[in-house]
Amino acid sequence: MYLNNIKPFLDFTSSLIGIIVLSPLFIVITVLLFISNKGKPFFFQLRPGKNGKIFKIIKFKTMNDNRDFQGNLLADRERLTKIGNLVRKTSLDEIPQLLNVLKGEMSVVGPRPLLTNYLHLYTNFQNRRHEVKPGITGWAQVKGRNSISWDKKFEYDVWYVENICFTLDIKILFYSIGKVLSSQGINAANAETIEPFNGE
């Protein structure tokens, strides 16, 4: 009942309200990133959703596209802009995903959507994370986000799938607010982004 009826309704309603309430902030960040990233305020990428269905996720673009003399992208740390770093630390880069929620591609709470090139690497257990819609925040995020191992991420994601309910979603939302305010677990150790997943 909750998963198939109540949760989708709450997702649609909350994302619509969120977009309306946060629209002034959305506009300001868009303008600042437009200037900082030479006309590219948004980051689009294909991600697997429920049952592995591919959709295009939208986030604020926190890194520029600067390259070295050979045409290769510079390291993440070198491409992270000042405004981008602020947006990432405060998790404001996730705001545009409310549009994905509104479209029914994502949920407010659920396992974070990972890269499509990881799909063939998952075990049957790990692949269970796709039994529900991916979320803007999730159990793995409040348990450590990018600072925990891949094994733990999958363990937390599958635990969420098996225990999903209204009270758990509310609990995750409150924990998420605390994580955002404290900027905990945003980056992996000694890196701006988490290490790639290479299988078991």
Residue 66 has pLDDT above 90, yes or no: no
pLDDT of residue 78: 81
Radius of gyration of the CA atoms of the chain, in A: 17
Who's near 1: CB < 8 A, 6+ residues apart? none
Q: Which residue has the tokens 């407010």?
A: 108
Residue 194 has pLDDT above 90, yes or no: no
pLDDT of residue 77: 80
| Span 20-63, pLDDT tens digits | 999 999 999 999 999 988 889 999 999 999 999 999 999 999 88
pLDDT of residue 188: 44
pLDDT, average across residues 9-15: 97
Sequence-ordered strand ranges (E) for 6-156: 42-48, 54-60, 107-109, 135-137
Quote the DSSP letter at residue 46.
E
pLDDT of residue 187: 47
- DSSP structure string for 88-116: HHTTGGGTTHHHHHHTTS-EEESPPP--G
pLDDT of residue 185: 54
| Span 149-177, pLDDT tens digits | 899 999 999 999 999 999 999 999 999 98
Contact 96, 38 (CB under 8 A): no
The share of the chain scoring above pLDDT 90, in percent, equals 66
66 CB-contact burial (10 Å; exposed 0-12 / middle 13-18 / buried 19+)? exposed
The share of the chain scoring above pLDDT 70, in percent, equals 94
Least confident range of 66-70, 128-132, 157-161: 66-70
Is the pLDDT higher at 75 or at 106? 106
Question: Which is nearest to 183 in space by CA: 85, 75, 62, 61?
Answer: 85
pLDDT, average across residues 70-86: 84
